[in-house]
Amino acid sequence: MTPAEVAAHLNSLAKPPGSLGRLEDLAAQLCHLQQTLTPKTTPRRIVLFAADHGVVAEGVTAWPSEVTQLMVRTIARGRAASSVLAASTGTDLRVVDVGTLGPTSPEATLHVWKVRAGSRNLAREPALTVDEFRQAVAVGEKQAESAAEAGMVVVAAGEMGIGNTTPASCLTSLLTGSPTDETVGLGAGADDAILERKRRVVGEAVDRVRGKLPTDPETAIAAVCGLEIAAMAGFYRRAAVLKRTVVLDGFIATSAALVAERLWPGTARQMIAAHRSAEPGHAVALRQLGLKPILDNWGMRLGEGTGALIAMPLLDAAAAIMGMAMLHEAGVQ
Ligand SMILES: O=C(O)c1ccc[n+]([C@@H]2O[C@H](COP(=O)([O-])O)[C@@H](O)[C@H]2O)c1
Ligand SMILES: Cc1cc2nc[nH]c2cc1C
């Protein structure tokens, strides 16, 4: 099905051509991704990957690493922003611990696939070995496979990981070539001193690995990556191969999309960008991927898949308009 055929169909529905604005663009995107004029947006699932980051020791975040596990438990108990938004949008939610610090308490909806307890401090040594990076990628791939096996047509990935805007900024600078002042932001609420340290850490780390990117991209990426970011990249890779409709979340999720597109070109073709995060690097990453977010200027910067979740009702609306009468059926010539 060509874009011209989809556009002709949209223009023959019982409305002035283009009068549903961006909703028509989104409907066209769904038709194109699913190769049908009757796209589906349910059943759907969001998988949240959680991990901790050794770089927190550098003072690059306002929060202690313990918050990662506390929030994982809150998500699993159904009380976090992601849990209530998943419930309110009819989205199946899973949490996967791919590398938090310490033991994880088992919860009903929690899956533990720990590669290691946190990444190493990327300011001092490579955060992950290539082998660890690949193991985390495999965790994400497995989740995309089980989502497809369960019949999910729309899938999204999200994350929880105190400190993860630092690796996300490293990856965004590394993979887009953008300077760190365009990719480093406040994260979960940095003050001026934190921001200054974060800029320095990101700048130095990217300078250290940049030279490896052309010849050994996996080593360069693993050195400044996080376990949940690698898992999201694997999730996107497999979901794209399995032709799922993939909804992107915020800055960290989109840095994982950059990783996936760099290592497995074409992955981003299955993606719909939900929103543009308040984190400045998100716009940089989306631009590189050629993706235009559905929601702009909403000022969201929570993560946990919340941006992807609030876009789900708009996906439903876009799919619904494909069931409208044609102009001629309405008696309009
Ligand atoms: O999704 C985003 O755009 C986003 C932007 C800023 C912060 N976050 C969330 O905040 C945490 C990371 O922030 P930080 O400051 O600890 O690096 C992590 O748990 C993310 O889910 C998420
Ligand atoms: C409380 C809290 C909840 C979060 N959810 C995602 N990132 C987060 C960071 C913090 C600090």
Helix axis angle for 251-263 and 280-289, nearest 10°, is 30
Q: What's the CA-to-centroid distance between 188 and ligand 2, angstroms?
A: 7
- Total H helices, total E strands in the chain: 13, 6
Dihedral of alpha carbons 192, 61, 302, 248, sign: positive
Residue with the smallest CA separation from ligand 2 atom 4 is: 302
Which listed ligand is nearest to 60 at the C-alpha? Answer: 1
Instruction: Report, as an integer, the average pLDDT of 218-236.
Output: 98
**pLDDT score recorded for residue 101:** 95
117 phi, psi to nearest 5 deg: -80, 90
> Is pLDDT above 90 for 163?
yes
Residue 66 annotated to the active site: no
Q: What's the CA-to-centroid distance between 248 and ligand 1, angstroms?
A: 15
Residue with tokens 């702009």: 296
Q: Each residue of 261-278: b (16+ CB within 10 Å) or e?
A: bbbbeebbebbbbbbbbb
Q: What's the CA-to-centroid distance between 151 and ligand 1, angstroms?
A: 30
227 phi, psi to nearest 5 deg: -65, -40
* Of residues 239 and 333, more confidently modeled: 239
Residues 6+ apart with CB under 8 A from 103: none
297 phi, psi to nearest 5 deg: 60, 30
Residues 6+ apart with CB under 8 A from 199: 180, 181, 184
Residue with the smallest CA separation from ligand 1 atom 22 is: 303
Boundaries of every domain in the chain: 44-317
Which listed ligand is nearest to 164 at the C-alpha? Answer: 1
User: By the 8 A CB rule, do 171 and 224 touch?
Assistant: yes
pLDDT per residue as tens digits for the range 245-301:
999 999 999 999 999 999 999 999 999 999 999 999 999 999 999 999 999 999 999
Residue with tokens 């794209």: 240
| Closest approach atom of ligand 1 to CA 165 | 17
Which listed ligand is nearest to 202 at the C-alpha? Answer: 1
Measured from CB, residues less than 6 Å from any atom of ligand 1 are 61, 63, 159-166, 187-188, 190, 249-252, 277, 279, 282, 301-304
| Closest approach atom of ligand 1 to CA 307 | 1
Q: Residue 147: name the closest of 219, 241, 268, 258 by CA.
A: 241
Instruction: Report, as an integer, the average pLDDT of 43-50.
Output: 98
Is 3.40.50.10210 the CATH classification of the domain at 44-317? yes
How far apart (Å, rounded) are the C-alpha atoms in residues 313 and 58? 40
Q: What's the CA-to-centroid distance between 71 and ligand 2, angstroms?
A: 7
Start-to-end Cα distance in the chain = 26
Is 67 close to ligand 2, i.e. is its CB under 6 Å away?
yes
Residue 38, SS3 per DSSP: coil
pLDDT per residue as tens digits for the range 98-107:
999 988 766 6
Strand runs (DSSP E) across the chain, as ranges? 44-51, 92-99, 110-112, 154-160, 245-248, 271-273
Q: How confident is the model at residue 333 (pLDDT cuts 50, 70, 90)?
A: confident
Is 48 close to ligand 2, i.e. is its CB under 6 Å away?
no
Q: How confident is the model at residue 125 (pLDDT cuts 50, 70, 90)?
A: very high
How far apart (Å, rounded) are the C-alpha atoms in residues 88 and 82? 10
Q: What is the mean pLDDT of the chain?
A: 96
| Residue of 79, 162, 164, 302 best suited for mutating to test ligand 2, as the one with most atoms within 8 Å of CB | 302
Q: What's the CA-to-centroid distance between 77 and ligand 2, angstroms?
A: 15
Is 71 close to ligand 2, i.e. is its CB under 6 Å away?
yes
How far apart (Å, rounded) are the C-alpha atoms in residues 225 and 118? 11
User: By the 8 A CB rule, do 251 and 277 touch?
Assistant: yes
Angle (nearest 5°) at CA 17 between 14 and 22: 105
User: By the 8 A CB rule, do 230 and 96 touch?
Assistant: no
pLDDT per residue as tens digits for the range 198-211:
999 999 999 999 99
Percent of the chain surpassing pLDDT 70: 98
**pLDDT score recorded for residue 108:** 47
Per DSSP, what are the bridge partners of residue 110?
95
Choose, from 132, 228, 279, 304, the residue flagged as catalytic: 304
**pLDDT score recorded for residue 102:** 81
| Separation in Å, CA 62 to CA 97, 165, 182 | 22, 12, 20
- Sequence letter at residue 138: A
Q: What's the CA-to-centroid distance between 187 and ligand 1, angstroms?
A: 5
ipTM: 0.99
| Closest approach atom of ligand 1 to CA 164 | 17
